Amino acid sequence: MIQKDPVKGDHIRVNRVVYYHHGIYVSDNKVIHYNTEGDGDGLSGNAKVLCTSLDDFLEGGKCQVRNYSSYEKKLLFPAGIIAKRAKGKLGEKGYNLVFNNCEHFANWCALGVKKSEQVEDLFDTMDDIVLR
């Protein structure tokens, strides 16, 4: 991730101390991401895909733009398609911290693959603890 101003179709994230919150920058200072109405990042079951301002998404944090591996660049949709995929999910519910979180959503929009490195890292850490 690199800190810079996002452009249309960018997968962005912001540090929330314990985790990163992810979304898709769609233009005109707007971000589409899983969230709840009001405060918070939608870590509860009533989260849905919403469009908010970049400032509301960042909540005072610094914007980081995802940079992709050479393999991921082969999968990466064009910026307009990424934004269209995100907009097509507006209002969608079904948030799940482990299986369908904000990072899963942003990766699906950009790469067509639902994955969350945060969740994978957590399970890897749990495996390490259990196998000791």
pLDDT tens column, 93-117? 999 988 999 999 999 999 999 999 8
- What is the tally of structural domains in the chain? 1
Per the structure, the complete domain to which residue 51 belongs is given by 2-131
Rounded distance, CA 89 to CA 33, Å?
9
Q: Are strands 20-27 and 11-15 parallel, antiparallel or unpaired?
A: antiparallel
Q: pTM of the entire structure?
A: 0.88
We report the CATH number of the domain holding residue 87 as 3.90.1720.10
Q: Is the dihedral of CA 10, 54, 39, 20 positive or negative?
A: positive
User: For residue 110, what are the β-bridge partners?
Assistant: none
pLDDT in tens, 4-13: 789 999 999 9
